[in-house]
């Protein structure tokens, strides 16, 4: 090595600086690495509980409701802004598809709404099994814009597509001894993977008094926003009872039975102190764990007061005349 | 603990663990802020922020309560060096969680909030946990340890366990049917508490033995 190419002694980094810089680099590297591990681990824990807005998968093709008879104008509406389709189809309680609000939209693909049959039984003159596509042709489809109030104190306004439950009940010929109608959701963990977890006793069941079921507002929905129901909304057939909390609106129905005694209702059976059989929307009767006096309309910042019977008191209050609604909530 | 004078050279674990825990703990909060800004909090963003902050506060609180057990079990000293950072992250996240409830969820309607806090065990317990954390946050400085004396300070800061248990019950009462997550976090907290109790019992037995030996 020539003399020239050797660094002058002044150019040599003092050893103290050199090891100091190495130490500094090591500190920065270790800090960044450990921060990423710790922050990543906590963020991962957070994502287990996070509910976001999953992509809504719309089926292609003409859709199962095409070619069916439809009434052109809505037969019932409310003068309130409708909740956007995106919100209606990504914020759902359908524990059969997962307990997070975004789970049903994400997993809806596992639920196959065809082929589908509905078993009709109990106190009826004509027990039978009806194919969903036959059932859909029994009545003209109509649109109804209803408020939907969840027992968790949030609400939406949804344009449903379907037919009055009263028409269906009449067609199914209940015997005069029948006083209630019971509904049952599909039991199939392959299609409804949430049923592998026993968060609730499966299948989900619900029921109405027959006079409630035949009230003109009680509705069977097969679609919303003009298209067939997606899995997360309870395809292909669900109940909508606008004056009751949302959990009464049983989804993906496979059986309808008429009974003489009050049928089991899933949430009522799971926690009778918290969820009544009637489950009429009532700002006066709080859930034991939270107030029902107000609600958040999805898409709005403030809370709005909750109305008795969800604003349908004029139509339905008579059904409960003389009943103590505080006790039979 | 090695002092600077005795080991001026060489990187101590806590030198990098301390900033790592600080910056790492900011990450989930930053991610939540990003979700808020990009509108990916879903259809009910207020509920989502509230839920996420509550869960995050509980995770920080449990992490801060894991520091001493880690020292007991493995003889590590660095976890104790990050305990205060984690505790303060827990406090401020839970405080933020409460303010989201108070301001965004309830719209500062004090009547309903007072009724919630007073009448609903679910909210009473959560609020109690936050209140318990206030004196701990206030006395989190080194000066406070001196002022109170190490023994009294330690006794006071055992309240963090009470706050943790209240937080778990608050979470448990919040879910409608699926209790998997609160049970999971509750089990971790229970295990940490067990380590402390076993350690305490062992030290007491040792002390009693020493005393007996001294007397004999």
The ipTM value here is: 0.90
pLDDT (0 to 100) of residue B216: 67
pLDDT (0 to 100) of residue B3: 42
Q: Single out the residue of B66, B61, B68 nearest to residue B86, CA to CA.
A: B61
**Mean pLDDT of all residues in A157-168:** 98
Counting residues of chain A whose pLDDT is more than 70, the rounded percentage is: 95
pLDDT (0 to 100) of residue A48: 87
CB pairs under 8 A between A and B: 141
**Mean pLDDT of all residues in A301-318:** 96
Q: Strand, helix or coil at A134?
A: helix
Beta bridge partners of A130: A118
Contact A35, B19 (CB under 8 A): yes
Contact A107, A97 (CB under 8 A): yes
For residues A58 and A258, give the distance between their C-alpha atoms in angstroms, rounded to a whole number: 35
Residue ranges of A 210-269 with Cβ closer than 8 A to chain B: none
Contact A23, B8 (CB under 8 A): no
For residues A119 and A128, give the distance between their C-alpha atoms in angstroms, rounded to a whole number: 6
Look over chain A and give the mean of its residue pLDDT values, rounded to a whole number.
Answer: 93
Cβ separation of B42 and A90 shorter than 8 Å? yes
Question: Which of A15, A25, A29, A45 is the best residue to mutate to test the B interface, defined by the most B CB atoms within 10 Å of its own CB?
Answer: A45
* pLDDT interval class at A14 (50, 70, 90): low
Separation in Å, CA of B111 to nearest CA in chain A: 12
Q: Single out the residue of A291, A260, A290 nearest to residue A180, CA to CA.
A: A260
Phi, psi of A158 (to 5 degrees): -125, 130
**Residue listed under structure tokens 């009724």:** B115
Number of domains in chain B: 1
Contact B120, A290 (CB under 8 A): yes
- Chain A residues within 8 A of B41 when measuring between CB atoms: 52-53
Please tell me if residue A32 touches chain B, with a CB cutoff of 8 Å.
yes
Cβ separation of B42 and A53 shorter than 8 Å? yes
Separation in Å, CA of B51 to nearest CA in chain A: 8
Q: Structural domain of residue B192, as residue ranges?
A: 13-215
Beta bridge partners of A280: A244
Beta bridge partners of A205: A184
pLDDT (0 to 100) of residue B176: 81
Q: Can the peptide bond before residue B147 be classed as cis, meaning omega within 30 degrees of 0?
A: no
Cβ-nearest to B112 among A42, A293, A301: A293
pLDDT digits (tens, 9 = 90+) for A272-292: 999 999 999 999 999 988 899
* pLDDT interval class at A5 (50, 70, 90): low
pLDDT tens, chain B, 216 aa long:
444 444 445 788 889 999 999 999 999 999 999 999 998 999 999 999 999 999 999 999 999 999 999 999 999 999 999 999 999 999 999 999 999 999 999 999 999 999 999 988 999 999 999 999 999 999 999 899 999 999 999 999 999 999 999 999 999 998 888 889 999 999 999 999 999 999 999 999 999 999 888 886
Phi, psi of A209 (to 5 degrees): -70, 150
For residues B125 and B101, give the distance between their C-alpha atoms in angstroms, rounded to a whole number: 14
**Is residue B7 assigned to a domain?**
no
For residues A29 and B142, give the distance between their C-alpha atoms in angstroms, rounded to a whole number: 29
Please tell me if residue A125 touches chain B, with a CB cutoff of 8 Å.
no
For residues B3 and B5, give the distance between their C-alpha atoms in angstroms, rounded to a whole number: 5
| pLDDT exceeds cutoff 80 at A303 | yes
Contact A135, A188 (CB under 8 A): no
Q: Single out the residue of A157, A102, A223, A58 nearest to residue B41, CA to CA.
A: A102
pLDDT digits (tens, 9 = 90+) for A83-135: 999 999 999 999 999 999 999 999 999 999 999 999 999 999 999 999 999 99
Separation in Å, CA of A299 to nearest CA in chain B: 7
Beta bridge partners of A131: A117
Q: Degrees (nearest 5) of the Cα angle B12, B17, B23? A: 145
For residues A162 and A160, give the distance between their C-alpha atoms in angstroms, rounded to a whole number: 7
pLDDT digits (tens, 9 = 90+) for A185-222: 999 999 999 999 999 999 999 999 999 999 999 999 99
Cβ separation of B178 and A34 shorter than 8 Å? no
Please tell me if residue A272 touches chain B, with a CB cutoff of 8 Å.
no
pLDDT (0 to 100) of residue A16: 64
Contact A302, B107 (CB under 8 A): yes
**Is residue B8 assigned to a domain?**
no
| A118 against A63, higher pLDDT | A118
* pLDDT interval class at A72 (50, 70, 90): confident
Q: Strand, helix or coil at A146?
A: strand
**Residue listed under structure tokens 């980094």:** A13
Interacting residues of A32 by C-beta distance below 8 A, sequence separation 6+: B20
**Is residue B183 assigned to a domain?**
yes
Beta bridge partners of A185: A253
Query: What does R_g of chain B's alpha carbons equal in angstroms?
Result: 20
Length of chain B: 216
Query: What does R_g of chain A's alpha carbons equal in angstroms?
Result: 28
Which chain B residue shows the shortest CA-CA distance from A105? Answer: B42
Cβ-nearest to B44 among A46, A86, A296: A296
**Is residue B3 assigned to a domain?**
no
**Mean pLDDT of all residues in A298-327:** 95
pLDDT (0 to 100) of residue B10: 76
Which H helix or E strand runs over A131? strand A128-131
Q: Is B204 exposed, middle or buried (0-12, 13-18, 19+ CB in 10 A)?
A: exposed
Which chain B residue shows the shortest CA-CA distance from A288? Answer: B120
- Chain B residues within 8 A of A27 when measuring between CB atoms: 11, 15-16
- Chain B residues within 8 A of A43 when measuring between CB atoms: 27-28, 31
Structure-block tokens of residue A72: 């052109």
pLDDT (0 to 100) of residue B7: 46
For residues A116 and A138, give the distance between their C-alpha atoms in angstroms, rounded to a whole number: 16
Pairing of strands A294-297, A154-164: parallel
- Chain B residues within 8 A of A152 when measuring between CB atoms: 176
Q: What are the structural domains, with CATH classification, of chain A?
A: 80-279 (3.90.420.10)
Structure-block tokens of residue B172: 């448990």
* pLDDT interval class at A235 (50, 70, 90): very high
Which chain B residue shows the shortest CA-CA distance from A287? Answer: B120
Contact A108, A96 (CB under 8 A): no
pLDDT (0 to 100) of residue B93: 98
């Amino acid at each position: 090595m020539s003399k020239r190419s050797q660094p002058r002694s002044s150019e040599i980094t003092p050893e103290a600086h050199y090891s100091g810089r190495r130490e500094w680099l090591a500190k920065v590297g270790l800090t960044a690495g450990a921060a990423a591990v710790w922050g990543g681990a906590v963020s991962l824990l957070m994502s287990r509980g996070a509910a976001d807005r999953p992509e809504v998968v719309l089926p292609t093709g003409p859709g199962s409701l095409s070619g069916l008879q439809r009434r052109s104008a809505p037969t019932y509406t409310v003068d309130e802004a409708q909740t956007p389709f995106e919100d209606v189809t990504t914020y759902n309680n359908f524990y059969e598809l997962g307990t997070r609000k975004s789970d049903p939209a994400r997993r809806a693909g596992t639920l196959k709404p065809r082929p589908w049959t509905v078993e009709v039984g109990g106190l009826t003159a004509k027990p039978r099994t009806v194919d969903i596509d036959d059932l859909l042709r029994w009545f003209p489809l109509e649109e109804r814009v209803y408020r939907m109030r969840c027992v968790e104190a949030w609400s939406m306004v949804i344009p449903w597509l379907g037919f009055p439950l009263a028409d269906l009940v009449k067609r199914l010929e209940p015997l005069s001894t029948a006083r209630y109608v019971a509904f049952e959701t599909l039991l199939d963990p392959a299609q409804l993977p949430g049923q592998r977890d026993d968060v609730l006793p499966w299948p989900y069941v619900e029921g109405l008094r027959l006079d409630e079921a035949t009230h003109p507002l009680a509705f069977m929905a097969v679609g919303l926003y003009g298209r067939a129901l997606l899995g997360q909304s309870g395809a292909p057939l669900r109940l909508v009872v606008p004056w009751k909390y949302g959990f009464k609106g049983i989804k993906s129905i496979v059986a309808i039975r008429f009974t003489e005694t009050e049928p089991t209702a899933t949430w009522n059976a799971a926690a009778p102190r918290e969820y009544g059989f009637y489950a009429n929307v009532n700002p006066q009767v709080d859930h034991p764990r939270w107030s029902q006096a107000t609600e958040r309309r999805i898409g709005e910042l403030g809370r709005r007061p909750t109305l008795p019977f969800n604003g349908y008191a004029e139509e339905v209050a008579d059904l409960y005349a003389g009943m103590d609604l505080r006790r039979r909530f | 603990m090695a002092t600077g004078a005795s080991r001026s050279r060489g990187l101590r674990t806590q030198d990098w663990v301390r900033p790592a825990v600080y910056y790492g703990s900011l990450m989930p909060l930053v991610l939540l802020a990003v979700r808020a800004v990009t509108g990916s909090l879903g259809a009910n963003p207020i509920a989502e922020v509230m839920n996420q902050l509550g869960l995050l506060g509980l995770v920080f609180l449990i992490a801060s309560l894991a520091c001493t057990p880690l020292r007991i079990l493995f003889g590590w000293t660095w976890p104790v060096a990050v305990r205060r950072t984690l505790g303060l992250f827990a406090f401020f996240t839970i405080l933020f969680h409460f303010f989201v409830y108070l301001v965004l969820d309830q719209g500062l309607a004090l009547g309903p909030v007072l009724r919630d806090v007073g009448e609903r065990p679910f909210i009473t317990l959560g609020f109690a946990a936050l209140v318990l954390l206030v004196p701990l946050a206030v006395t989190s400085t080194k000066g406070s340890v001196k002022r109170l004396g190490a023994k009294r300070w330690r006794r006071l800061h055992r309240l963090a366990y009470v706050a943790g248990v209240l937080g778990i019950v608050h979470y448990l009462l919040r879910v409608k049917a699926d209790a998997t997550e609160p049970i999971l976090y509750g089990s971790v907290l229970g295990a940490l508490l067990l380590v402390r109790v076993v350690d305490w019992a062992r030290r007491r037995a040792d002390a009693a033995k020493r005393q007996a030996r001294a007397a004999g």
